[in-house]
Amino acid sequence: MKHYSPLQMIRNSTFPISGVSLLKWGGMLVLLLFPILAWAQDAATQAMSVEYRDIPGIGSRNIIWIVAQQHLLLAGFVLGVPIFAWICEIVGWKTNEPRYDKLAKEFTKLLTSAYATTALFGGILLFLLIGLYPKLMAYLTDIFFPSFIAYCILFILETATLYMYWYGWDAMQGRKKALHIFLGLLLNLFALGIMIVPNAWATFQASPVVIADGTAIERAWSAMQNPTWWPVNIHRLIANVVLGGFICGAYAGVRYLLAVTKEEKEHYDWMGYVGNFIGVFGMLPLPFAGYWLMREIYQYNQQMGITLMGGFLAWLFILQAMLIGVLFLGANYYFWLGIAHRIPGSEGQYKKPIMAMLIVLLACLAVWMTPHSLVASLAEAQKMGGTHHPLLGVFGVMSAKMTVSNLMVLVTFMSFIMYWRAGKVETAGWAKAAKGLMGVLLVIASVAVIGLGIWGYFVPAIIRINYFSVAQVLIVLFIMITFTPLTALLMKSAKTTTEMVWGQMPVRAGYSLVLNAVMVILLMSLMGYARSSSRVHWHIYGVMRDTSEYAYSPALGYAAAFMSLNTFVFCLLAAFIFWVATLGDKAKSQPPKDEPVKVPPMGSSTPAMAGGAPTSEETRK
């Protein structure tokens, strides 16, 4: 190994990014931490004597499973909420609507109490990992130590920013609002950093790269840049927004169920709508991000790809399809309930399109859930000539699944557009032409997506993966990108025929919000299990083998019981955190009840997030 002077080390660092100043700072940091690095290596040598410790009864893997899952779910919430709290705040700032600011503040309040619990679970997880998996942790520490320091610094910055953001909320209204928004931006940037640094550790375990000689920072950086790092970052970033949105929706749903006064009902009905809206809009690009991640895994190692998609974990993806299907159905159901109950008298008018959308969704779900290898008894398998059905076997492959997931995204988007337009009549002269154009585009897009899906059976896999699937995604994205501004323009001049009434939703709307949140949490637990078991018997895939007694991957049913347990514990935790967070304002909220609920005047350019119904004084008259 060559010996470089520290300055040479910095100069020689061959990082592919151009953040030169960052590198220099990082280099200086390592110089300062040199004694600590030496100590860490000593510790690594000593830790070799013990490879694993166990907790009898529960088992080391199970306890890590629970704690890591709780930490991850809390972290997902804590990182997802600031994103849309910040967006809500900006919307409130730009449109001068205090109810958005109030909503953003309410979310941030939930954030502060959840943040401490997240850190608590992170600490427990760290102690358990060091204690139970010393060999693995020593190896990871050896490679990633500089990133641990970066993580700690990010954590300090995030905490400081969060405190300023929350405690400065009221103080920074008015002229200082821009500064507060900037704080929100910083908060989100640090949160992003906090997410992607540990992602690198986890993705390195799944897709390691060879660590050549070099400085500590070089080694850490080359390990961080593993093939699945960015796909996981993007996937988790979007999923966190979805989780945050649906959990806030569920919170609003429960509060709506518990609400007694009309004002409370109206407020939480609206809040539930916003939460569901954010969740759905985050969910629409999520299949695409997941597809990208899966593709990277396949390319990184075919063995891992087959284990996931066609091998041991194939049934897990059927369960995933079921959960996503329920989630899509639940989100649409909530939209449809909104049309039926918030817009009185619209029921008959929208019954037919709703039925059509429901049938399409269910047909897609049926295709998605049809497994490639069927569960069959001996007699049934003999009649089919194997566990592949001659006719329905075609539904079991990727081409069909990609097509139906795109169609489901499309239907959900149209469901939202329908909700947006409900109870209004377009007045613009070009409205008819625009609606006709949208109809034609929609038909063309659906035909194209299905056509590509069918054609995909007849081309080599690589053509399908590289072009057809990407084309399908782009078609759906194109529809979303063109329809949203077009509808916004249409709605700008539209006349409201039926006023949207908040606080009239039936009880089952609250339950469907809760159901959506449970589905998202379950999905995250399920895919966490998939990510972890795709490594099969490796701690670090192909590099460090798991030689503990827990090297096997548990069967799906056992894992599902654990996921359910984790989801339930998380729901209880979240309920507790929210209960604690709202203890304070019970007393405070009494006096303002006398004030009449002021419906904020909204401009004609009502954002879609507001529920789409302008309730300003002008339109009421």
Partner 1 sequence: MKSPLISAAILLGGVFAFLKFILPLFTAPLPASLIYLYLAIVLSGIMIFGTMSAGGLEAFMGPIYRFISGEIDGPTKMARILVLIVFPLLVGWQTYTKLAPSELPPAENRTIHPAPPGEFVGLANPYPTNESTIQEGKGIYAANCSPCHGPNFDGKGSAALGFNPPPANFADPGTIAQLQESYLFWRIKKGGVGLPIEGMPWKSAMPRWEHELTDEKIWKVIIGEYDGAGQSPRTWEEED
Partner 2 sequence: MSEVALLQLLGMSVVGLGICILLFIKSKFLRVLGFVIIVLGSFSLTALSVPQMASLPPAIESFDIASLKSPDDLASLGQKIFFSKGQCALCHSIGPSHSARCPDLAGIGAKLAPEFIYESLTNPQAYVYLDYRHDQLPEEYPAQMPYINKNPIALSKPEIYSVIAFLQKMSGEPITIKVEDVLNQEPDTKELKVAGHARANDAGNIILAQSSDMVVE
- Please report, as ranges, the residues that interact with partner 1 according to CB under 8 A: 299, 301-304, 306-307, 310-312, 314-315, 329, 333, 336-337, 340-341, 347, 351, 354-355, 358-359, 362, 365-366, 369-370, 373-393, 397, 457, 460-463, 466, 506, 508, 542
* Closer residue to partner 2, CB minimum distance, 213 or 618: 213
Q: Which is nearer to partner 1, 2 or 458 (CB)?
A: 458
Instruction: List C-alpha distances in Å: 113 to 72, 74, 575.
Output: 16, 11, 12
The whole-angstrom separation of Cα 601 and Cα 241 is 28
Determine which helix (DSSP H) or strand (DSSP E) holds 603, and give its type and residue range: none
Site string for partner 2, 322-361 (x = CB under 8 A): xx--------------------------------------
> Residue 368 is which amino acid?
W
- DSSP code string of 299-323: HH-HHHHHHHHTSTTHHHHHHHHHH
Residues 285-304 that bind partner 2 (CB under 8 A): 299-301
Of 36, 551, 583, 599, the one binding partner 2 by CB under 8 A: 551
Please give the Cα distance from 207 to 227 (Å, whole number). 7
Name the binder of 571 from partner 2, partner 1, none, CB < 5-8 A by kind. Answer: partner 2
Separation of alpha carbons 149 and 172, rounded Å: 32
The CA distance from 474 to 463, in Å, is: 16
Q: Where are the beta strands (DSSP E) in 427-507?
A: 495-496
DSSP state of 596: P
User: Taking a C-beta distance cutoff of 8 angstroms, is the pair 318, 371 a contact?
Assistant: yes
Position among 185, 537, 597, 616 found at the interface with partner 2 (CB under 8 A) = 537
Choose the one of partner 2, partner 1, none that binds residue 511, judging by a C-beta under 5 to 8 angstroms depending on kind.
partner 2
Kindly state whether residue 511 participates in binding partner 2, applying the rule CB under 8 A.
yes
* CA pair distance 328, 449, nearest whole angstrom: 19
User: What is the contact mask toward partner 2 in residues 119 to 138, using x (rule: CB under 8 A)?
Assistant: ----------------x--x
Residue among 178 and 507 whose Cβ is closer to partner 2? 507
Nearest partner of 407 among 351, 350, 479, judged by Cα: 479
Asked if residue 543 binds partner 2 (CB under 8 A), the reply is yes
Does 441 interact with partner 2 (rule: CB under 8 A)?
no
Tokens of 88: 């809500």
Restricting to residues 239-278, name those near partner 2 by CB under 8 A. Answer: 254, 257-258
Of the candidate spans 58-66, 68-76, 545-553, 606-614, the one that interacts with partner 2 by CB under 8 A turns out to be 545-553
Site string for partner 2, 557-596 (x = CB under 8 A): xxxxx-xx--xx--x---x---------------------
27 binds partner 2 (CB under 8 A): no
Least separation in angstroms between residue 617's CB and partner 2 is 35
In angstroms, rounded to a whole number, what is the distance separating the alpha carbons of residues 280 and 246? 8
Read off the tokens for 354: 């709703």
Burial 485-511 (b: 16+ CB within 10 A, else e): ebbebbbeebebebebbbbbbeeebbe
Least distance CB 178 / partner 2 (angstroms): 40
Q: Which CB, 442 or 560, lies closer to partner 2?
A: 560
Return the number of other C-beta atoms located less than 10 Å from residue 617's C-beta.
9
- Are the CB atoms for 424 and 492 separated by under 8 Å? no
Q: Footprint of partner 2 on this chain (CB under 8 A)? A: 1, 12, 14, 41, 44-45, 48, 51, 135, 138-139, 142-143, 208-214, 227, 254, 257-258, 299-301, 312, 315, 318-319, 322-323, 375, 510-511, 514-515, 518-519, 522, 533, 536-537, 542-547, 551-561, 563-564, 567-568, 571, 575
